[in-house]
Chain A
């Protein structure tokens, strides 16, 4: 890890600041800054490794995720089964490896959906203000007032369990922070003179929103995205744990955790390992979000 960092550090030695004469590429800037930050590179590294494990599960996992071996049920961690086996004799490690794919995919899918909803509603509320803003803000407050997991429970019961429904339900429930932040940010950007000029040129509102306001909230969207993913992962794992999310034998981490809860006293490894992985993944995304926020906040720039 250290040598990789060194290589990057030498490549990226040249400081990119917004004041420099060259044009600045936001993505390049973010990646450079992330790679120069200890927390950033660690969390990004962990996430990438977990994602790669998920993508190449077939080649990495020692066993298929649903291979039962009823002679080896509830075996503690050993050389053959590093994380032990579950009640049906399935290799926990293999299930976790396959589970990485599904868990991360669900996290991204939910966040993507919430981002689309939140960005659209936030931009509209912030830009137009008045009655439209009032209506959207009230909707936000109503959603804010209820515990999300309870509504999610109710909705999944109605819609039925399954990956698609989990994504759908959490997607339409987790957009609130997105919308709130984007709305506030839009309110600030709207007052900039360049928006006044855009109006004076005769641009229609939709173009002003896309060209002038959306572009200016992209940094906030990136941060929100990274911070919503752990929320989405934990919430979907919780739904799976309650039996309303991903259905067996699909190996989602929350579902594996749930499988192990009956045997918690005699075979804790079934639940502990997916729990640890969930923790690491969620924590990494959280830290990544924090680092991104610091990197993208001009007031934090140059501070340690």
Chain B
């Protein structure tokens, strides 16, 4: 079995003054070695929370209510902070949104990008900077030899994201989480960086968990797509399956809302309504208030994620599992 990461029944709550936000509920998925997976969903669907939970970097008001995150055989949730630190940056790395504020303005690129080498491999400063230069060359930063002596403000947003990608991939982590890394960049840069990321991940034989709300990017980059809605996984399928035969009404709606060549003269279909408040999510299926096929059972009972084909899972009462439930 080449399963690298397995998340089982992960639930995360945020405690705020007005109550408890059930941001992520019973999320289960697995990532194989070398696989590229996309987590798609709209804002507030819990994508980033899943990413932060995997790194155990959730904010202080978040609690992991239940679940397991099994990475290479050990449950990360049982590890203490010290052990977790040895995994962060070395075995699991993460690239966040908005590269503009992500580098310390007072330190040179060299100092910041050599940190992983110094911290995890206990390298000398000089060697670490040399390694950092090599990494910067790999992300095709122009003039990498001199760039290490420059400060962050002298780089553009795209360059900074390259620098950050280089920093996080320094130690060839087995899993790279990318949390909407290109959303602050313009489209041409997005494509360029996406191909770069793709190449690097392939070179390093890393797995990728790519978080985005852009289905186009997801289709281009990933092997499998997980669709999240209101803190739950509603559908999980290979890219081709999802785009050709989406099962869940939400996924169908999402795909219909994409502009395509065939639909040039028509108005885009939109999903009515907006996502529910997670302070008080609707009973039963969380999508039922917006679902065109809503049935009685949808309002009462939550559907489980079931396997309808070997590589296709969906959580919807419209589909019956004839064989077995997952997990």
Shortest B146–chain A CB gap in Å is 11
Give the distance in Å from the alpha carbon of A212 to the alpha carbon of B164 in the complex. 16
Could you name 8 residue pairs across A and B whose Cβ atoms are closer than 8 Å? A21-B154, A23-B151, A193-B98, A200-B93, A201-B168, A202-B85, A202-B120, A204-B85
Asked whether B60 lies within 8 Å of A200 as measured between CB atoms, the reply is no
Asked whether B104 lies within 8 Å of A216 as measured between CB atoms, the reply is yes
B103 touches A (CB below 8 Å): yes
- In the complex, which residues 51-99 of chain B have their Cβ closer than 8 Å to any Cβ of chain A? 55, 57, 60, 85-90, 93-94, 96, 98
Residues of B contacting A8 with CB < 8 Å?
A: none
B156 touches A (CB below 8 Å): no
Give the distance in Å from the alpha carbon of A201 to the alpha carbon of B94 in the complex. 8
Residues of B contacting A161 with CB < 8 Å?
A: none
A interface, size bucket: 20 to 34
> How many CB-defined contacts (below 8 Å) exist between A and B?
73
**Given known A-B contacts A18-B153, A192-B101, A200 and B57 have beta carbons under 8 A apart:** yes
Please encode chain A, from 128 to 167, with 1 for each CB lying within 8 Å of some chain B CB and 0 for all others.
0110000000000000000000000000000000000000
B interface, size bucket: 20 to 34
Q: Please name 17 further chain A to chain B contacts, defined as beta carbons within 8 Å, in addition to the given A21-B154, A202-B119, A204-B85, sorted by A numbering.
A: A18-B153, A23-B108, A129-B60, A130-B60, A193-B102, A196-B57, A197-B102, A200-B94, A201-B89, A201-B168, A202-B90, A203-B115, A207-B119, A215-B104, A215-B106, A215-B107, A216-B105
Which A residues have a C-beta under 8 Å from some C-beta of B?
Answer: 18-19, 21, 23-24, 129-130, 192-194, 196-204, 207, 211-212, 215-216
Partner of A193, one of B90, B96, B119: B96
Which B residues have a C-beta under 8 Å from some C-beta of A?
Answer: 55, 57, 60, 85-90, 93-94, 96, 98, 101-108, 112, 115-116, 119-120, 149-151, 153-154, 164, 167-168
Give the distance in Å from the alpha carbon of A194 to the alpha carbon of B106 in the complex. 11
Give the distance in Å from the alpha carbon of A120 to the alpha carbon of B98 in the complex. 31
Give the distance in Å from the alpha carbon of A132 to the alpha carbon of B168 in the complex. 31
Shortest B36–chain A CB gap in Å is 20
